Amino acid sequence: MKEPFINDTIDTTVLPKFEDVQLTPLHPSYIKVIWFNIALVFGIIAIAAGFGFYYINELQPYRIAISAGYIFIVLLTITINVINFKTRGFAFREHDVIYRSGAISINTTIIPYNRVQHVAVHEGPISRWLDLATVEVFTAGGVGGDIKIPGLEKIHATAIKQLVVGKIDNKQSDEGEDIFTSATLEEPLPPEEEDNNERD
């Protein structure tokens, strides 16, 4: 006998809130990586601007304006990166991973383990010097669903990778068991009809 179809309304006001989850911040040493990247980019720009002011006379009247704009962009970039650094956080729960980031707008990504394809650990030259690493989680949804969690201690990043790989293996094992169970519970096919025109 078929069970009756039930389609009750869900009270969305009492659903669990991911905002209540205590997120782990990035390692404090990661701010040094941010400072290095900012200094590298704007250092190159400053050198190029210096050569421009020296060799291109047409830029001399705009020297103050360009310098003021340069300083403003540097301060704005530093402010945004510091806010973003303080905002970033992550949590690995029983069934999913949460990652929050952003400065002007806060983005929170929640990825269930059954959508994860694989996980990788990366180390840049500065991060390697600071014994830090980045964990990258790739999903079946493509680039938009992937997340990168930088600023992790290398030993912590390796442990997270092993955790996620274990979750993926468990999900695949469970799916395989479900397929096998459903296959064994299927009704046997009716036997083929015997050929009545057997040859002597």
Q: Which two tokens stand for residue 82?
A: 């510091």
What would the pLDDT profile of 117-140 be if each residue is shown by its tens digit?
A: 889 999 999 999 999 999 999 988
- pLDDT band at residue 175, thresholds of 50, 70 and 90? low
Tell me the Ramachandran region of residue 153: left when phi exceeds 0, alpha when psi lies from -120 to 50, beta otherwise.
Answer: beta
Mean pLDDT of 134-155: 87
What would the pLDDT profile of 1-45 be if each residue is shown by its tens digit?
A: 567 788 878 777 776 676 778 899 999 999 999 999 999 999 999
* pLDDT for 107 beyond 70: yes
* pLDDT for 147 beyond 60: yes
Q: Which two tokens stand for residue 21?
A: 């989850």
Q: How far apart are CA 56 and CA 63, in angstroms?
A: 11
- pLDDT band at residue 183, thresholds of 50, 70 and 90? very low
Does residue 113 contact residue 168 with C-beta atoms inside 8 Å? yes
What would the pLDDT profile of 43-89 be if each residue is shown by its tens digit?
A: 999 999 999 988 988 888 889 999 999 999 999 999 999 999 999 99
Does residue 118 contact residue 168 with C-beta atoms inside 8 Å? yes
Q: Which two tokens stand for residue 102?
A: 């952003």
183 to each of 74, 170, 175, how far by Cα in Å? 62, 20, 12
DSSP 139-172: ETT-GGG-EEEEEEEHHHHHHHHHHHHHHHHHHH
Helix (H, G, I), strand (E, B) or coil at 56: coil
32-41, 48-57, 161-170, 186-195: which is most confident: 32-41
What are the start-end ranges of the H helices in the chain? 30-55, 63-87, 125-129, 154-185
Looking at residue 192, its pLDDT comes to 52
Partner residues linked to 44 by β-bridges: none
* pLDDT for 199 beyond 90: no
Q: How far apart are CA 50 and CA 33, in angstroms?
A: 25
* pLDDT for 190 beyond 60: no
Instruction: Kindly report the pTM of this predicted structure.
Output: 0.74
Q: Measuring CA to CA, which residue among 151, 156, 158 is closest to residue 134?
A: 151
Q: 139 Cβ partners below 8 Å, 6+ apart?
A: 111, 115, 116, 117, 145, 146
Residue type, 182: S
Looking at residue 177, its pLDDT comes to 53
Looking at residue 15, its pLDDT comes to 67
